[in-house]
Amino acid sequence: SQPIVILQSKPDGTSMTDSFAQDVAIGLNQTPKSLSSRYFYDGKGSELFQQIMALPEYYLTSCEFEVLIAHKQEIVNYFAAEGFFHLIDLGAGDALKTKILLSQLQKEQRKFEYVPVDISGDAMAQLCQSLQEEMPAVNVQAVVGEYFQALEWLQANKAEQKVVLFLGSNIGNFKLDESLAFLQSIRSFLNPGDKLLLGVDLRKDPDTILAAYNDATGVTAEFNINLLRRINRELGGDFNINRFRHYAVYNPQEGVMKSYLVSKAHQDVYIKDIDKTFHFDAWEAIHTEYSHKYSLQQVEEMGKQSGFAIEQVFQDKRQYFADVLFTV
Ligand code: AVI
């Protein structure tokens, strides 16, 4: 059967480009201005994020690799010990981390179907290809769509045993109320005994966190600024990229890294597809991203409020990152 399902349009029938234009119009009309980090990931943005994950300052990726490699056997032991299950990987990307678990499951001859979900059709096509080459025995059903569409997939397969992966501290990019709603939504499609393995970046020395979002080579700055380039490319914007700068700041009380694009001058920007000019004062900022950092108590509380209980917490040696296994 066809290994890739494409869920392109939104439930209201509008296309992704329409909603990008709408969201940009709303965000730049607001005071203070904001744009959603979900729009970072076009082809170029995804490539830049791959580069970020390889940066020495961006500890999140290497820490999560360490966690999964060190605990892979124990982790998969918790996954539906008997019978067939679906392993649903939200925001799978190149699935390099998930492949650690996949090869362990294969080694143990476990029966499962792997369901990677990602907004990038190219990423899913490449992943299917690489899995075909590296692990031909693994059954794969890739889904191209947004997270909420993945939840529809969960809905359609409600009766099956499920393990949901949400790795990489992607949850940290939601606002706190959105992350709760998201977890509650996942929970509503799961049955007793189903699991959620959630990757979370933990609170630590603010300087370590700050460096991860303000790297010396400027890849993260380029990743942030690519959002303006994307508006220029896709919506006919005339942002002068040199007149904006990346600025990232960590609030240790809220445990949140906030990223901004700051206008270096008083300027107007016209966006053709919105047919509107947006004014920027000198040093006015557009908020572009939240990256939340958690305490384990906070993660436990979020789980509790969404109907999940912690089964086990897996951490790296420095305790920078945790993969938290929740059960329903
Ligand atoms: C995808 N997400 C978890 C990344 C993060 O750390 O918030 C995105 C990112 N933003 C800047 N660097 C990486």
Residue 216 CA, ligand 1 centroid: distance in Å: 16
CB of 288 sitting under 6 A from ligand 1: no
pLDDT tens digits for range 63-121 = 999 999 999 999 999 997 778 999 999 999 999 999 999 999 999 999 999 999 998 88
Closest CA to 292 of 201, 213, 228: 201
From residue 177, alpha-carbon distances to 16, 39, 181, 256 in Å are 24, 20, 6, 14
Residue 275 CA, ligand 1 centroid: distance in Å: 31
Mean pLDDT computed over 301-315 = 98
In 215-318, which residue ranges form alpha helices assigned H by DSSP?
A: 219-235, 296-305
Percent of the chain past pLDDT 90, that is, above it, reads 84
**pLDDT confidence tier of residue 14, bands split at 50, 70 and 90:** low
pLDDT tens digits for range 21-44 = 999 999 999 999 999 999 998 889
pLDDT tens digits for range 270-292 = 999 999 999 999 999 999 999 99
**pLDDT confidence tier of residue 17, bands split at 50, 70 and 90:** low
Q: Contact 328/307 with Cβ under 8 angstroms? A: yes
**Taking the model in full, what pTM does it have?**
0.94
Mean pLDDT computed over 165-171 = 97
Q: Contact 45/227 with Cβ under 8 angstroms? A: yes
CA dihedral 228, 289, 117, 14 (to 10 degrees): -60
95 membership: H or E segment, kind and range: none
pLDDT(314) > 80: yes
**pLDDT confidence tier of residue 205, bands split at 50, 70 and 90:** very high
Note the pLDDT of residue 5: 76
Six-digit token string for 266: 């008083």
Q: Which residue CA neighbors atom 4 of ligand 1 most closely? A: 170
Mean pLDDT computed over 206-222 = 98
What is the number of the ligand 1 atom nearest to the C-alpha of 212? 12
pLDDT(123) > 80: yes
pLDDT(13) > 60: no
Residue 213 CA, ligand 1 centroid: distance in Å: 8
Residue 244 CA, ligand 1 centroid: distance in Å: 20
Residue 151 CA, ligand 1 centroid: distance in Å: 22
Q: What phi and psi, each to the nearest 5 degrees, are found at residue 323? A: -105, 115
> Could you tell me where the beta strands, DSSP code E, fall in the chain?
4-6, 33-34, 85-90, 112-118, 139-140, 142-144, 162-166, 195-201, 244-251, 256-263, 267-271, 276-280, 285-292, 309-315, 321-327
Identify which of 50, 52, 210, 259 to mutate to test ligand 1's pocket (most ligand atoms within 8 A of the CB).
52
Top pLDDT among 289 and 18 is at 289
What is the number of the ligand 1 atom nearest to the C-alpha of 91? 1
CB of 199 sitting under 6 A from ligand 1: no
DSSP 8-state symbol, 173: G
Q: For residues 322 and 302, give the distance between their C-alpha atoms in angstroms, rounded to a whole number.
A: 14
What is the number of the ligand 1 atom nearest to the C-alpha of 168? 3
Mean pLDDT computed over 115-142 = 92
